[in-house]
Amino acid sequence: MPPIIDEDKCNGCGKCVEICPNDVFFGSQRGEVPKVTYPDQCWHENACVHDCPKEAIKLRIPLPMMIIYK
């Protein structure tokens, strides 16, 4: 499940685009709200969530993975 970006909180800094190891936000421009171009490539590593200075990104964890997190 792809990351969810709160457009009201996002300042377009691009840190999530830089830190994502799988190019989920490919093609996103600095200064704009990132686009989730390849949602199927998200491995739920939380790098974008942890590095976002505005806490504008959340991950929806798939149900089978939620069992592991509990």
**Contact at 8 Å (CB) between 22 and 38?**
yes
pLDDT truncated to tens, each residue of the chain (70 aa)?
Answer: 789 999 999 999 999 999 999 999 999 999 999 999 999 899 888 899 999 999 999 988 777 777 775 5
**Contact at 8 Å (CB) between 2 and 39?**
yes
Q: What is the pTM of this model?
A: 0.79
Going along the chain from its start, the domains and CATH numbers come out as 3-69 (3.30.70.20)
Beta strands in 1-70 (DSSP E): 3-5, 57-59
